[in-house]
Amino acid sequence: MDNKRNSAQRVLEIIEQALLKSGEIPTAHVWAEVFGLDSERAVGEPHEVWEKLSLLRIEIDAIPALMAQTTIPEKLYLPHLERLKSVVSVPNISASWKNYRGNIQPDTIVTISFCANLIPSEPLVSKDELQSVLDLVLQLKAEIEALPFSPSAREFFFRQLNIIEVGIRDYPISGINSIRAAINKGFSDMPPNAGSPGHEEAEDKVWYSKVGEAWRAFHSAAKGFIDTDKFLTAVVTRLEQGSLLLENGLALLP
């Protein structure tokens, strides 16, 4: 099952990571480590953990529809999916992990492994390319933090870069859907009544292009796997040309 990527495979990998964690630590701490979040903060403020778990539940819920395309009876896998959901929808996320991890027995892991093998694989997006884009985004955010900008431009740049960052960090949970969601959000984040960068400071104009380059890199990592060309071309066009009107952006598409 090398490089097999689908909802069941992603769920399997995440659950297996969680099972490696000590049962003596808080459940919020466990999930924070699995999702790459601040584990200490998660214990007191678990909202980020809940956000990631909600994405994981979506992937678990997607498996029955995908398995319906096979000849395997529902009764062989639905009970195991319910066990998984009971573990990612815990009533007390501050309780010790040992209170919940026992609900996932070896037969559930085997069943999800079979599902992962039977469900069609999604196209693979290079993790190395996504990491390269993430490195660029983090670099740009650090530079923006240190430079003077008009308040509106600074907020806009951070918001756009955060959208890309979340799309990349959610990829191990949601697959290509995380990229689709980021692109749609980035596109709709540009209000039609916003001012043009042509009316901003000179430094602001340069950074509209730099943020556009981050989107280009993000697009390149996913190119050929999802239909993003029109969205990304419009986003980058609106950033670089300063045309924040949807109609103008679409009119400039090749």
* Residue 213 counted as domain residue: yes
Same domain, 138 and 114: no
Same domain, 147 and 193: yes
Same domain, 107 and 213: no
Same domain, 196 and 95: no
Same domain, 132 and 217: yes
What is the crossing angle of helices 202-222 and 127-146, to 10°? 170
* Residue 29 counted as domain residue: yes
Check residue 102 and give its pLDDT.
92
* Nearest to 247, CA basis, from 168, 187, 192, 182: 192
Same domain, 107 and 190: no
At position 85, the amino acid (one-letter code) is K
Same domain, 59 and 135: no
Check residue 189 and give its pLDDT.
77
Check residue 252 and give its pLDDT.
32
At position 106, the amino acid (one-letter code) is P
- Of the residues 83, 118, 153, which one is the last residue of a structural domain? 118
Same domain, 72 and 47: yes
* Residue 2 counted as domain residue: no
Domain hosting residue 57, numbered range: 7-118
Give, for all 254 residues of the chain, the pLDDT tens digit. 345 689 999 999 999 999 999 999 999 999 999 999 999 999 889 999 999 999 999 999 999 999 999 999 999 999 999 999 999 998 899 999 999 999 999 999 999 999 999 999 988 888 899 999 999 999 999 999 888 777 888 888 899 999 999 999 999 999 989 988 888 888 777 655 444 444 455 566 778 778 888 888 888 887 756 555 555 666 666 565 554 433 333 333 33
Check residue 245 and give its pLDDT.
34
Same domain, 154 and 203: yes
* Residue 193 counted as domain residue: yes
* Residue 47 counted as domain residue: yes
Check residue 2 and give its pLDDT.
44
- Of the residues 118, 151, 183, which one is the last residue of a structural domain? 118
* Residue 1 counted as domain residue: no
State how far the Cα of 76 lies from the Cα of 81, in Å rounded to an integer.
10
Into how many domains does the chain fold? Answer: 2
Contact 172, 117 (CB under 8 A): no
* Residue 227 counted as domain residue: yes
- Of the residues 118, 152, 169, which one is the last residue of a structural domain? 118
Same domain, 212 and 247: yes
The secondary structure of 149-192 as a DSSP string is --HHHHHHHHHHHHHHHHHHHTHHHHTHHHHHHHHHHHHHTS-T
* Residue 178 counted as domain residue: yes
Output the CA–CA distances (angstroms, integers) from residue 2 to 5, 94, 119, 179, in the order listed. Answer: 9, 35, 14, 22
Same domain, 132 and 233: yes
Same domain, 183 and 160: yes
